[in-house]
Amino acid sequence: MRKPKPLLILLCAIGIFFGLVACGQSEQTATEGPADQDEQTDETSKEETASLEYPTRDIVILVGHGAGGGMDTFSRQVAAGLEDRLGVNVNVINHEGAGGVIAKEIGANEPADGYTIVATGALPIQVAMGTNTDNQLNVFTPIARLQSDTFALQIKPGTFESIEDLFEQAKSSTIKIGGTGIGTTDHIVFTMLHAETELAIEFIPFEGAGQMHAALLGGHIDAMLEEVGPVASSIEAGEMEPILFFAEERIDDFPDVPTSVELGYDITTGVERGLMIRNEVPDEIIELLEETVKDIYDSPEYKEFEKNAFLHLREGWLSSEEYHEKLTNDIELFTEILSSIDTEQQ
């Protein structure tokens, strides 16, 4: 019998060796289960998060109302919390006028890099009233809502004895009621009140809350639509007085002040305050901002701020997704309300 040649034996050995290696690799791949794949995915996510270099410079919050008002104090409280958590300066810049539309327009033209945030409150009303040139949800993505405040009709003490007294005088003479801007929450609450009461009341718009407060104290207007928080010190000093809350139930701190619902007016719309950012901003930046803002909202410092400003009367928090849904629904709701009011007045 012929003996195998050495070369043939060597080639066979090499073939068997590589065959075993290939089988081993196949078995390792086959036995690598979902847990191993999840670990790889988690590691990838961690690497992506770690690679997010944001923020590296100052952030700006644009506010469409004047200093001293509810939107301004809200934005400055959030800005302080962002500074503590993100380690960069957060500057609040006020652009008064047009009920906050000017600030939104400026924000819409800033780079979509996550460094320009817009404080928002009356977007659905502005869209419904046509004071916004476009549905701003096509431009901005909500970060979160933090506040849902309660409106009050407030007077200078001594001018009226009660809301009934004001309504009675409005039957014979025009009552001037101040608010901050056209196309704002103030404006739509006034519009709804005017439609339900059919009294001689006139809306007097102001660019900023400070101007409105001065006008009330100076006797240039008879009443104003304002929250309690921004003027709490003036109320305590006896310089201002709420005579009607636009709410379903009476406020514990003001048990003698009636609500719109108990007087028969289904008006409970209040000021909502949140933050928006350009749609094109990367999702991971929006998510980081949402998580950071939620941490601010849950903090003892913010809860104390809420209580001192009477912002704890209603739950304020809505996530980015929840706030987007509510804004969308509110645009439809306010459009229907204003349409029905216009139809009734024709």
Asked whether residue 248 carries a pLDDT value surpassing 50, the answer given is yes
Q: What is the pLDDT of residues 292-307, one digit of tens each?
A: 999 999 999 999 999 9
Reported confidence tier of residue 343, pLDDT bands at 50, 70, 90:
low
* Band (29; pLDDT cuts 50, 70, 90): very low
The mean per-residue pLDDT over the stretch 199-210 comes to 92
> Quick one: 59-148+271-345 is in which CATH superfamily?
Bordetella uptake gene, domain 1 (3.40.190.150)
Given this model, what pLDDT does residue 181 score? 80
Domain 151-245, CATH = 3.40.190.10
The per-residue pLDDT of the chain, averaged, comes to 85
State the pTM of this model: 0.72
pLDDT given at position 51: 61
Local confidence band at 209 (pLDDT 50, 70, 90 cut-offs): confident
What residues have CB less than 8 Å from 243, skipping those under 6 apart?
152, 153, 154, 155, 160, 162, 163, 166, 223, 257
Q: Would the CATH topology of 59-148+271-345 be identical to that of 151-245?
A: yes
The confidence band for 44, taking pLDDT boundaries of 50, 70 and 90, is very low
Q: Which candidate, 170, 339, 203, 195, places its Cα nearest to that of 267?
A: 195
pLDDT of residue 4: 44
Summarize pLDDT for 138-168 with one digit per residue, the tens: 899 999 999 998 999 999 999 999 999 999 9
The crossing angle, in degrees rounded to 10, of helices 70-86 and 283-297 is 110
Burial class (CB in 10 A: 0-12, 13-18, 19+), 243: buried
What are the domain boundaries of the chain?
59-148+271-345, 151-245
Interstrand relation of 90-94 and 59-63 (parallel, antiparallel or unpaired)? parallel
Q: Closest by alpha carbon to 74, among 334, 329, 308?
A: 308
Please report which confidence band the pLDDT of residue 43 belongs to, taking 50, 70 and 90 as the band edges. Answer: very low
Compare 48 and 262 and report the one with higher pLDDT: 262
